[in-house]
Amino acid sequence: MPKVSIAFFLVASIFGLGGMAWGGYMGALEDFTWRDAHAHLNLVGWTTLALMGTFYSLCGAARPKVLSWINFSLSTIGVMIFVPGLAMIASGAPDALMFVIPGSLIVMLGMATFLASVITVFIRKPTQ
């Protein structure tokens, strides 16, 4: 498995464990204020990054090396800005948009680089 896939799974599982613990904390307090932030940490963090890591481990030699690491960096940093921003919105914090807007744009840029990787692999892979 390429190092970048292990990096995706490492960060994805940290986000997943954090998201689940957050869910348990909400359940224990019966306070679901942060449900949206919890859901996005699990879905944009754990699920999306694990899927991206899986794709890069299946690419073989066709994997676009630099693009895969740019994808990893953008998607990881995006979650780390976007999800706290969602939690701040739910808590009514005044500066929440300063995190949610750039965070969501970086998350989208991460997905755009993933799409570019998929297209690159599609072009590079010989027709079987």
When the beta carbons of 27 and 60 are compared against ligand HEM, the nearer one is: 27
- Give the separation between CA 18 and CA 97, rounded to whole angstroms: 23
The least CB distance from residue 6 to ligand HEM, in Å, is 21
Residues 6+ apart with CB under 8 A from 6: 53
- Give the separation between CA 43 and CA 92, rounded to whole angstroms: 23
How deeply is 126 buried, as exposed, middle or buried, from its count of CB atoms within 10 A (0-12, 13-18, 19+)? exposed
The least CB distance from residue 45 to ligand HEM, in Å, is 9
Q: How many residues bind ligand HEM (CB under 6 A)?
A: 15
Helix (H, G, I), strand (E, B) or coil at 79: helix
60 binds ligand HEM (CB under 6 A): no
The interface mask with ligand HEM, positions 16-55, x = CB under 6 A, is ---xx--xx-xx----x--xx-xx--xx--xx--------
The least CB distance from residue 21 to ligand HEM, in Å, is 8
Amino acid at 1: M
What residues make contact with ligand HEM under the rule CB under 6 A?
19-20, 23-24, 26-27, 32, 35-36, 38-39, 42-43, 46-47
